[in-house]
Amino acid sequence: MARIPSSVVAASGIVGGYGVARWTRQRPLGGVVLAAAGTAAARQWQQRAGGTAASALTAAYVAAF
């Protein structure tokens, strides 16, 4: 099974979370999309770069949203 790059997962989470929240008018639902993609990306960052880098990238991800 091919892995999706973490950059694609993160970008999809930010755009998808915003889109879902806007189109459904349910902000918590958009937050679920954001959190799910963020968790998947953070796991990949943890595996590839370690905890410190994963924490920094996760903080940037949340700030970007």
Residue 65 token pair: 């949203």
pLDDT digit string (tens) for the chain, length 65 residues: 568 899 999 999 999 999 999 999 999 999 999 999 999 999 999 999 999 999 999 999 989 88
Domain borders along the chain are 6-64
Residue 54 token pair: 């994963």
Residue 65 confidence (pLDDT): 81
Count the neighbouring beta carbons within 10 Å of the beta carbon of residue 32.
14
Collapsed DSSP state (helix, strand, coil) of residue 3: coil
Q: Which of 21, 4, 15 is nearest to 61 (CA)?
A: 15
